[in-house]
Amino acid sequence: MQMLRTLDKLNVDNSYARLPEHWFQRTSPKPLKNAHLISFNPRVARHLDLDPCQCNPDQLVNYFAGLQPLPGSSPLAMKYTGHQFGHYNPDLGDGRGQLLAEVINQRGERWDLHLKGAGQTAFSRFGDGKAVLRSSIREYLVSEAMVGLGIPTTEALCLIGSEEYTSRLGMEPCAMLLRVTQCHIRFGHFEWLYYTKRHDELKQLADYAIQRFYPEALQADNPYLAFYQMIQAKTASLVAYWQAYGFVHGVLNTDNMSILGETFDYGPFTFLDAYEPDHIANKNDDAGRYAFFRQPAIVHWNLACLAQALLPLVEREALEAELETFMNQFEVQLLQRRKARLGLLTTHPDDAALIEKLWNLFKQNRTDITRFFSAIADLSTEQLSIENLTEFTQSSEQHWDAWLKTYQQRIALEMASEPIRQQQLRSVNPRYLLRNYMAEEAIREATQGDYRLVNQLLPVLRHPTEAHPHLQRYQEAPPDWAKAICLTCSS
């Protein structure tokens, strides 16, 4: 039986603080003025053995707005480097976030508490170390949305607002977000130690990461190669999820890549409203390096950067051989995710061709794939027709008709009964997705001091396949004004 605790009685440690001192800066959060609680996530509290019913809002504000140190915490800002838009930057690190502590729960899991918007650190460069309400709301909501979709991600326990302002897109209110995940180590941590030729320390970091996150690698002939193989496998699975659900990260730098294969460091992300493979979420990305269709190749490139950093520990030939398997790993995972969205759980020779034709139709029609799959999940096999999918098939009806007939024939090869098939379809096809305009509406209201929509969206995103009648409008096509939303690195 899980024994729940109060905030001041959590089982707190910080193993990273026992690593070499020059790997981080010891620091403390800078308090926000007139801080107040915007939202609290009881689901995430359970990771920490934290009792949601005994979570005092004032305590949350005190500990996670920098007013009072969390008992047992040892705040630090991590040093790392990374490749940003393809160029190595040696000056990176936690510039506006601080790792407060690790909470050890009764299952023996360690969960990092990382406070974003905690103020200037040694790695802030020219920044003020603050986070604004706009970007904090977006990360808070999308973290829950990704959990609802089953996509690996960092999570967030709470969101704190304030009456303090800073300059971004004009003067904007400041906020703090408590990010929760089991690991904050990035590809860039290894790059820093590799490029500064601290190879003994590189081994020390790898040993720490293996023991804490990948202990099964210790059974391999070369634990460091096994460590890399596991990271690559998780990362291939992650990007397959992104491509299957139309998620665009926006800033896939190596310092934004987690060794746990989680979606990490949300910035100008988006879910595609219309299927456009060349969509660029980040308007600062002039060359389109991080366009949606390029994400698998960019992730592959980032994994090559990590492999390069591990050369002092693993032979080049072994790493290169592993890298060559990435695209196949990704494609196998992507086919599986896409088939699941169609209710196809068995394997047949023509499956890949069926999927490819569908995604070509999506591209030709600029289809809203979220609404398409949600519609498919509501239709029986006999109801699969152009008449019932008119909204998605108008521009190429002959091609759609041919595809639908082939799909019906393929469904007939599945073993599941019709009710089971529709239940499976609904389980992986959300009615709701965090579209940019939804986040924008929540941001606009929150900026005026009204946090109701932020809190109303949280359970909808947590359970996106269920019906939520009070917010049913979010199942409909996005409004025309949504096309004008502009996202940049400040998002």
Q: Are 137 and 272 in a shared domain?
A: no
**Three-state secondary structure of the chain:** CCCCECHHHCCEECHHHHCCHHHEEECCCCCCCCCEEEEECHHHHHHHCECHHHCCHHHHHHHHCCCCCCCCCCCEEEECCEEECCEEECCCECCCEEEEEEEECCCCCEEEEEEECCCCCCCCCCCCCCEEHHHHHHHHHHHHHHHHHCCCECEEEEEEEEEEEEEECEEEEEEEEEEEECCCCEHHHHHHHHHCCCHHHHHHHHHHHHHHHCHHHHHCCCHHHHHHHHHHHHHHHHHHHHHHHCEECCCCCHHHCECCCCECCCCCCEECCCCCCCCCCCCCCCCCCCCHHHHHHHHHHHHHHHHHHCCCCCCHHHHHHHHCCHHHHHHHHHHHHHHHHCCCCCCCCCHHHHHHHHHHHHHHHCCCHHHHHHHHHCCCHHHCCCHHHHHHHHHHHHHHHHHHHHHHHHHCCCCCCHHHHHHHHHHHCCCCCCCHHHHHHHHHHHHCCCCHHHHHHHHHHHCCCCCCHHHHHHHCCCCHHHHHCCCCCCC
DSSP character at residue 265:
S
Q: pLDDT digits over 329-354, tens only?
A: 999 999 999 999 999 999 999 999 99
In a domain, 408, yes or no: no
The values of phi and psi at residue 153, to 5°, are -160, 160
Q: pLDDT digits over 81-123, tens only?
A: 999 999 999 999 999 999 999 999 999 999 999 999 999 999 9
**Three-state secondary structure of 326-342:** HHHHHHHHHHHHHHHHC
Q: Are 238 and 158 in a shared domain?
A: no
Which structural domain, as residue segments, surrounds residue 65?
Answer: 7-184
Q: Are 274 and 323 in a shared domain?
A: yes
Give the Cα separation of 385 and 403 in Å (integer).
Answer: 10
Does residue 265 carry a catalytic annotation?
no
What the block records as the tokens of 206 is 């790898």
Report the interhelical angle of 133-149 vs 452-462 (nearest 10°): 20
DSSP SS3 for 220? coil
Q: Under a CB-based contact definition with an 8 Å cutoff, are residues 460 and 471 in contact?
A: yes
Domain boundary among 184, 202, 221: 184
Q: Are 200 and 224 in a shared domain?
A: yes
In a domain, 444, yes or no: no
Residue 1 reports pLDDT greater than 80: no
Mean predicted confidence (pLDDT) in 214-238: 98
What the block records as the tokens of 225 is 């190669």
What the block records as the tokens of 314 is 């693993």
What the block records as the tokens of 110 is 């360690």
Q: Are 250 and 221 in a shared domain?
A: yes
Q: Are 23 and 84 in a shared domain?
A: yes
In a domain, 301, yes or no: yes
Give the Cα separation of 362 and 360 in Å (integer).
Answer: 5
Q: Are 141 and 262 in a shared domain?
A: no
Domain boundary among 128, 155, 184: 184
Q: How far is CA 366 from CA 279, 358, 392, in A?
A: 11, 12, 9
Q: List, as own/partner pairs, every contact residues 479-486 make where C-beta atoms lie below 8 angstroms and the sequence separation is at least 24, other chains included.
A: 479/437, 481/437, 482/273, 482/435, 482/436, 482/437, 482/440, 483/273, 485/436, 485/437, 485/440, 486/283
Q: Are 73 and 106 in a shared domain?
A: yes
In a domain, 437, yes or no: no
Which residue in 49, 94, 112, 255 is the catalytic one?
A: 255
> In sequence order, what are the beta bridge partners of 37?
160
Q: Are 126 and 247 in a shared domain?
A: no
Give the rounded percent of residues in the chain with a pLDDT score beyond 70: 100
In a domain, 159, yes or no: yes
Q: pLDDT digits over 460-480, tens only?
A: 999 999 999 999 999 999 999
pLDDT value of residue 293:
98
Give the Cα separation of 72 and 61 in Å (integer).
Answer: 17
Residue 2 reports pLDDT greater than 90: no
Q: Which residues contact 371 (CB under 8 A, 6 or more apart)?
A: 391, 392, 475, 477
Question: Which of 282, 286, 327 lies closest to 304 in space, CA to CA?
Answer: 327
Tokens 């609680």, residue located:
37
Please report which confidence band the pLDDT of residue 318 belongs to, taking 50, 70 and 90 as the band edges: very high
Q: Under a CB-based contact definition with an 8 Å cutoff, are residues 33 and 162 in contact?
A: yes
Mean predicted confidence (pLDDT) in 282-311: 97
In a domain, 439, yes or no: no
In a domain, 406, yes or no: no
What the block records as the tokens of 415 is 């073993």
Q: Are 251 and 118 in a shared domain?
A: no
Question: Which of 336, 348, 264 lies closest to 82 in space, CA to CA?
Answer: 264
Q: Name the domain count of the chain.
A: 2
Q: Give pTM, 2 decimals.
A: 0.97
Q: pLDDT digits over 382-405, tens only?
A: 999 999 999 998 778 899 999 999
Give the Cα separation of 157 and 48 in Å (integer).
Answer: 10
pLDDT value of residue 396:
83
Provide the b/e sequence for 440-476 (b: ≥16 CB within 10 Å): bbbbeebeeeebebbeebbebbeebbeebeebeebee
Q: pLDDT digits over 228-254, tens only?
A: 999 999 999 999 999 999 999 999 999
Q: pLDDT digits over 126-170, tens only?
A: 899 999 999 999 999 999 999 999 999 999 999 999 999 999 989
Please count the CA atoms within 13 angstroms of the CA of 364 that sit on its side-chain side: 15
Q: Are 147 and 295 in a shared domain?
A: no
Domain boundary among 184, 219, 240: 184
DSSP SS3 for 434? coil
Q: Under a CB-based contact definition with an 8 Å cutoff, are residues 326 and 232 in contact?
A: yes
Q: pLDDT digits over 441-453, tens only?
A: 999 999 999 999 9
Pinpoint the alpha helices (H) of 342-488.
351-365, 369-377, 390-393, 397-411, 418-428, 436-447, 452-462
Q: Are 192 and 63 in a shared domain?
A: no
In a domain, 223, yes or no: yes
